[in-house]
Amino acid sequence: MLKGIRGMFLDFVDDPFYEDEKKCVRFLADGLLVIENGTIKELGLYENIFSKYRNCQVDHYPGYLILPGFIDAHVHYSQMKIIASYGKKLLDWLGSYVFPEENKFKDYEYARAAASLFLDELLRNGTTTAAVFTTVHPQSVDAFFEESNKRDMRMIAGKVMMDRQAPHYLLDTTEQSYEESKRLIRKWHGNGRQLYAVTPRFAITSTRQQLNMAGRLKEEFPGVYIHTHLAENVDEIRLTLDLFPDCADYVKVYEESGLVTDKSIFAHGIHLSDSEMKRLSKAGSAVAFCPTSNLFLGSGLFNLAKAKSRANPVHVGVGTDVGAGTTLSLLRTLDEAYKVLGLQNQKLSAFKGFYLLTLGGARGLSLEGKIGNFDAGKEADVVVLDPRTTSLQQHRNSHHPQPLSNIRDVSEQLFALMCLGDERVVVKTYVAGSVLYSRN
Amino acid sequence: MLKGIRGMFLDFVDDPFYEDEKKCVRFLADGLLVIENGTIKELGLYENIFSKYRNCQVDHYPGYLILPGFIDAHVHYSQMKIIASYGKKLLDWLGSYVFPEENKFKDYEYARAAASLFLDELLRNGTTTAAVFTTVHPQSVDAFFEESNKRDMRMIAGKVMMDRQAPHYLLDTTEQSYEESKRLIRKWHGNGRQLYAVTPRFAITSTRQQLNMAGRLKEEFPGVYIHTHLAENVDEIRLTLDLFPDCADYVKVYEESGLVTDKSIFAHGIHLSDSEMKRLSKAGSAVAFCPTSNLFLGSGLFNLAKAKSRANPVHVGVGTDVGAGTTLSLLRTLDEAYKVLGLQNQKLSAFKGFYLLTLGGARGLSLEGKIGNFDAGKEADVVVLDPRTTSLQQHRNSHHPQPLSNIRDVSEQLFALMCLGDERVVVKTYVAGSVLYSRN
């Protein structure tokens, strides 16, 4: 069955970090997106194509901006309840707040309720895909995927592995972790829109034996992802290198176990040497830039220009990293990204920012063929945004004509959205063509 | 006529930067605030004092937190429309966005409409007092004070002075500035709750002659404030010292004209030497810490620990600094403050944060005798906050008993408010005992 969405469309067809921004943006002041069975059939100017789809039911959003669903490149569904926990840096914060909360996810029902709430919050924020940490408990993975599958959301997740440097109640063993992960991969990877990530928490909490086992899983199931943390905090790095004295740097720790791949997602990567960045580039790995988290934990400032260099380009997505991150809104996360970069004399234009949330994020997660823009054949994950939600936004944007007609106005309005926006601006969230969130 | 407010009250009786936090906080799980003609008559436990006020009409807010109205130590009412303007650092940002917009304030009606909107936004954000920049046009000052006076808000503002380094259409002259300021001081300083600030924009845009004239006004009218900018950006500092080659540092430029006083408010003060901080301390001046602005313009990180040192304590308030700041919410501003300080290994506890928004801000603005806490005799500016406004906040705070019964829970809930809160959590804003903002 056909269904249509009409309004101002904006998406990206190329990477504005490397190509002329204007050529990367596709903007249709009055467009029609046609969806068939959850998949995009066509995007075109309304006046050019509507006659082909006369019998198609159309949701019309005059004055709103319609973008591909947002992609959160790194987030912990198990940490939503400990968001905004006071006063610690990474390692102490884990011990004081995270581990006690994660322990509760041994209870399947607790995990399932948390997953349901979390996914609904993502939808409220316009996020349709995420790379998600669960906990060490396999039931927390089942719970997550059950809920995600129910909503037909394109999600990446996997069982956390930890066999040391955490409370005993959260530790697994190499063998157990291997068996459980294998079962979960078979059950969930490619089940509907669900995708599996082999997920050692980080090098500190896994022995070499466990990291090697993670690499073995990736060999046995080449389609799965690797998802872990990397170079977030200076104390973490020091401890990592103490624990792996034969490794010259942090990336080497993961390389040794075959974990630096073109489907690896590394959260943070704040403190990486040129050599490490170069090796991530060569491997085709992705880094998740999590500015609200990096500021909240005082971890440091991510160097985006270095990651997106022409010489050694690394895929970058944006992560909220809740519970260390302070918001599930990727708009608020872009506001913080702009600031983190401004402190380093780097500028994040609106187009670059929204590219990272959509096509850039999709590329980072090796999902460019499935999601990230409105190309025909992709899955119809769509977010409808109202740039005049709050009284301040109404005042700020009152001089823009409606619909927007030139790319400069579009850019300015997007920038205001990324500075002033939050979940309130999300009017509708479509997942595979169905409305799963509706404002009010 | 008597009127009462009942609920959970929290305010400060001393400075948690110097005294044991718990001794600085006054928390009443079930309190009654009695107001007579806009002034606080008494705050006490409901059960202890309600019998004295049996005929008093009481607004009851179970489950909400009730605090003194917030104080914004630095903000430009003329810049609300250019909030979130892309891509510049201070001096270019002024030229590209600020000056063209400020030119519109030569029109009294434009200014009056902007002032009205601005003040309503402050109230929506729980802000009841602010130190406000207008523009160079005296009519922009009249417009502001007319609107503020109409709402009976305790406001500090004054005509901006600029006689160089700005577009010709925004320049005044020393003589004209003197005459206009004098008229405005006589008209507005002490008129109702309105207070006047002599307001040279900053040293770059005023000749020595004009700064001296500002100092002369302060001598002629000792009760008025001085409000200006200081040491925000490294290029600004360099240009300032080029323009005043006889001054060893930025503070000296203002000292020379008698502008460093115990009623001086300096916005930013990011890049101050030990000597400069010491001289501000000695003079009893205040610095407005504006974290969202400092990050948005990439100006730098304010060193709060240095300003609040025991050896050379400087008064500090928190400013939103809209339009360089990205929010009028002082809660969101505290979130950013926490992060700015975290990057410097400093911790901003919830109590310290809310102290800065209330009693600390009042002290910074020399208004401790009038506002800042619920002491009897003070003006009844009050904000009622709902810590469970959003679905995320409800989830985050669901384990807190209601009403809160111990200071640790209070601190935790306040911290969640400062990380996750924005204008949505403001249920009511009272100004001098009257409800001027009501949610929904």
Residue A349 in tokens: 């234009």
- On chain A, the residues whose CB falls within 8 A of the CB of B297 are 342
| Residue B398 pLDDT grade (very low, low, confident, very high; cuts 50, 70, 90) | confident
Whether residue A92 sits in one domain with residue A46: no
**Residue finishing a domain among B293, B328, B363:** B328
**Cis amide prior to B323 (ω within 30 degrees):** yes
Range of the domain at B54: 2-69+373-438
Q: Is residue B106 over pLDDT 90? A: yes
Task: Give me the pLDDT at residue A340, please.
Answer: 97
The confidence band for B345, taking pLDDT boundaries of 50, 70 and 90, is very high
- In this prediction, residue B397 carries a pLDDT of 86
Given a cut of 90, whether residue B87 has pLDDT beyond it is no
Best residue in B339, B415, B422 to probe A by mutation, most A CBs within 10 Å?
B339
Judge whether B336 lies within some domain: no
Return d(Cα B125, Cα B417) in angstroms, integer: 13
List residues bridging with B8 in a β-sheet.
B65
A266 and A283 in a single domain? The answer is yes
> In this predicted model, what pLDDT tens digit does every residue of B195-223 receive, in sequence order?
999 999 999 999 999 999 999 999 999 99
- For residue A341, being part of any structural domain is answered with no
Cβ-nearest to A342 among B117, B298, B335 = B298
The verdict on A317 and A379 lying in the same domain is: no
Domain count, chain A: 2
Confidence of residue B404 (pLDDT cuts 50, 70, 90): confident
pLDDT at residue B21, as a whole number = 95
Residue A404 has pLDDT above 90, yes or no: no
Domain boundary among A297, A328, A359: A328
pLDDT at A88: 86
B440 touching A, CB under 8 A?
no
B296:A338 CB<8 A: yes
The conformation of residue A203, written as its DSSP 8-state character, comes to: G
In the structure encoding, which two tokens stand for residue B307, read together?
């300003």
Q: Report the Cα B340 to chain-centroid distance in Å.
A: 18
B76, B63: one domain: no
Q: Is residue B397 part of a domain?
A: yes
DSSP A270: -
Q: How far apart are CA B265 and CA B262, in angstroms?
A: 9
B402 and B313 housed in the same domain = no
Angle, in degrees to the nearest 10, between helices B208-220 and B174-188: 30
**Chain A residues in contact with B21 (beta carbon < 8 A):** none
Examine residue A40 and state whether it is found in any structural domain, yes or no.
Answer: yes
Kindly determine whether residue B335 and residue A326, on different chains, have CB atoms separated by under 8 Å: yes
Question: B350 lies in a domain?
Answer: no
Facing residue for B420 by CB, picked from A84, A87, A300: A84
Query: Before B372, cis peptide (omega within 30)?
Result: no
User: pLDDT tier at A400 (50, 70, 90 boundaries)?
Assistant: confident
- Please tell me the predicted confidence (pLDDT) of residue A405: 80
* CATH code of residue A23: 2.30.40.10
Question: Do the domain assignments include residue B226?
Answer: yes
SS3 label, residue A19: coil
DSSP A385-429: E-TT-SHHHHHHTTTS-SS--SHHHHHHHHHHHHHH--GGGEEEE
Q: Which of A87, A292, A345 sits opposite B347 (nearest CB)?
A: A87
Same domain, A47 and A92: no
Residue for token pair 């323009």? B243
Sorted by sequence, the CB contacts under 8 Å of residue A186 that are 6+ apart come out as none
Q: How confident is the model at residue A385 (pLDDT cuts 50, 70, 90)?
A: very high
CA distance A40 to A33: 7
Q: Same domain for B261 and B380?
A: no
Q: For chain B, what is the mean pLDDT?
A: 97
Chain B, residues 105-164, CB within 8 A of chain A, namely 117, 120-121, 124
Distance (Å, whole) CA A403 – CA B219: 55
**Whole-number Å distance between alpha carbons of B73 and B293:** 13
A74 and A48 share a domain?
no
Neighbours of B325 (CB within 10 A): 28
A51 with A87, same domain?
A: no
Number of helical H runs and strand E runs in chain A? 18, 16
- C-alpha distances in angstroms, B276 versus A107, B18, B283, B316? 58, 21, 11, 15
The verdict on B169 and B241 lying in the same domain is yes
Residues A325-341: pLDDT tens digits? 999 999 999 999 999 99
- Check whether residue A62 and residue A84 sit in a common domain: no
A376 and chain B in contact, CB less than 8 A: no
CB A181 within 8 A of CB A198: yes
φ, ψ for residue B59, nearest 5 deg = -90, 120
Q: Does residue A307 sit at the B interface (CB-CB below 8 Å)?
A: no
**B93 in contact with A at a CB cutoff of 8 Å?**
no
Q: What is the pLDDT of residue A283?
A: 98
CB B396 to CB A83 under 8 A?
Answer: yes
Whether omega for the bond prior to residue B100 falls within 30 degrees of 0, making it cis, is no
Task: Answer yes or no: is pLDDT of B31 > 80.
Answer: yes
Can you tell me the ipTM of this complex?
A: 0.95
Contact A295 B339 (CB under 8 A): yes
3 state DSSP class of A365 = coil
Q: Report the share of chain A in percent with pLDDT over 90.
A: 95
d(CA B129, CA A195): 52
> For residue A263, with 0-12 CB atoms within 10 Å meaning exposed, 13-18 middle and 19 or more buried, which class applies?
buried
Whole-number Å distance between alpha carbons of B86 and B70: 28
Say yes or no for a CB contact (<8 Å) between A349 and B395. Answer: no
Q: What integer pLDDT is reported at residue B341 of this predicted model?
A: 97
Percent of chain B surpassing pLDDT 90: 95
A-B Cβ pairs (cutoff 8 Å, strict)? 103
* B403: preceding bond cis by omega (within 30 degrees): yes
Q: Which residues of chain A neighbour B296 with C-beta distances below 8 Å?
A: 338-339, 342, 419
pLDDT given at position B405 = 79
C-alpha–C-alpha distance, residues A210 and A307, integer Å = 29
Structure tokens that stand for A147 in this block: 């809920």
The predicted-structure confidence for A115-138, as pLDDT tens digits, reads as follows 999 999 999 999 999 999 999 999
- Interchain proximity B84–A415, CB inside 8 Å: yes
Label residue A401 exposed, middle or buried (CB < 10 Å: 0-12, 13-18, 19+). exposed
The per-residue pLDDT for A37 is 96
CA distance B123 to B183: 28
Distance from CA of A351 to the nearest CA of B (A): 12
| Same-domain status, A19 and A63 | yes
Averaged pLDDT for residues B10-14: 98
Whole-structure pTM value: 0.97
What is the structure's pLDDT at B382?
A: 98
